[in-house]
Amino acid sequence: MKNRAGILVLISTGVIIGLLIAEILVRIFLPQNRLTTWIEMHPDGFMMNQKGVTAIHHFNERAAEYRLNQLGLRGDELSPGDGLNILFLGDSFTFGLLLAEEDTFIAKLQDKVNSAFPDRRINLLNGGIGGAGLADWPLWLEELGTEIAPDMIIYMMHTDDIGRSISKNLFVVNEADSSLTQSQRWQPRQFMMKTGRQRWYRALQRRSDLMNLLVGIAWDKFYFKDLTNGFDEETTQVIIPTGERRYIESGYSNLLGLLLFERLSNWCMDNKCTIAASTTGFFGFGEENYYTTPFYQKISDQGLHSMPFFDNTECMVDKTGGSKDEIIIEGDGHPNEAGAALIAECSWNWLQELIREVPDEN
């Protein structure tokens, strides 16, 4: 027994020393930007924020903290009572990646709302989720929307919304009647998702470069199963569009985008809320996406039949002289504090009018 215990002590000591050496080597040769996980995937394949957690996110010299409430929204818990709840949906630009909570464009808009409508209780809710595309949001609303119960939804379209909708395959357009069928591409491995919520796991992420390196590899290689097998029509386990329909010339991606906006609008009609769409304003800086750019050009010319559409692009380009260099985080590309303030300034032009259209019931 003593020999066995001694062997276990030696093995444990060796493992600990090995991990410490690995940690030192990673810090020297492969230093990591530390973060704690705050995003996860629903079993149906759409993105969600974790609920009721606080996460850190480092990037070079920049560090941010994210507070997610019990509904997965960034910021304070929702308090019961009267008031106008306006829910903003969008990707990491809406979430405010690498920004302090008070520096997000939604927080800046809240300040403007408080000043312009001091006698009304109006709450702007940050529902942004990094990596989300347009197709994530109908499923997300059907899962969480009734609990949040927004009076108004503002969808903030960004430059990869349709590209992600094609890639994630959450919905497929039926050729026969142009209706949407729910599908999926990525299936999260539940063990990995549950592990990501554990306190010990998050504590290691917060303190260890080695842990962050391993988590990055695992997220890329092991967290998800591709049910489409790379959109292989012969071996896919789920419904996918044909290869011909994935070409932009087919018009499939534009139709998918319009149907997804219609589904969002229908959710609002069923749940007694109003809805409008806007953009982050970053479509005017020369970046093109194979699927999203043509869709944006279509709706910027023709609008959306299912909801009002307010495009921030012209305002953003005018105020920056057509260059985004001064309004993004260097080396990352997300809006910096000045960029978020500018999105808020451009959005305020139309948001205040939408608010005025809603009767004050207090």
**Tens digit of each residue's pLDDT, the chain (362 residues):** 567 777 887 888 888 999 999 999 999 999 999 999 999 999 999 999 999 999 999 999 999 999 999 999 999 998 766 789 999 999 999 999 999 999 999 999 999 999 999 999 999 999 999 999 999 999 999 999 999 999 999 999 999 999 999 999 999 999 999 999 999 999 999 888 899 899 999 999 999 999 999 999 998 888 999 999 999 999 999 999 999 999 999 999 999 999 999 999 999 999 999 999 999 999 999 888 999 999 999 999 999 999 999 999 999 999 999 999 999 999 999 999 999 999 999 999 999 999 999 987 65
**The pLDDT of residue 2:** 60
3-state secondary structure of 125: strand
Name the helix (H) or strand (E) containing 137.
helix 136-148
Tokens encoding 51: 């609920």
Q: Provide the strand spans (E) within the chain.
A: 39-41, 47-49, 54-59, 62-67, 84-89, 122-126, 152-157, 171-173, 180-182, 186-188, 224-226, 274-279, 309-310
Length of the chain: 362
d(CA 88, CA 70): 17
- Whether the CB-CB separation of 185 and 167 falls below 8 Å is answered with yes
Q: Which residue has the tokens 């809406």?
A: 94
- Whether the CB-CB separation of 98 and 332 falls below 8 Å is answered with yes
Full-model pTM: 0.95
CATH class of 32-356: alpha beta
- Whether the CB-CB separation of 56 and 101 falls below 8 Å is answered with no
3-state secondary structure of 328: strand
d(CA 58, CA 23): 18
Name the helix (H) or strand (E) containing 340.
helix 337-356
d(CA 50, CA 144): 12
d(CA 118, CA 107): 16
Residue 155 forms beta bridges with which residues?
89, 277
How confident is the prediction for the chain on average, in pLDDT?
Answer: 95
CA distances from 236 to 198, 225, 227, 272 (A): 33, 12, 6, 38
Question: Would you call 134 exposed, middle or buried from its count of C-beta atoms within 10 A (0-12, 13-18, 19+)?
Answer: buried
Ordered DSSP codes for 248-277: GGGSHHHHHHHHHHHHHHHHHHHTT-EEEE
Tokens encoding 30: 């492969």
Of 267, 259, 258, 264, give the one whose Cα is nearest residue 179. 259
Ordered DSSP codes for 200-224: HHHHHHHH-HHHHHHHHHHHHHTSE
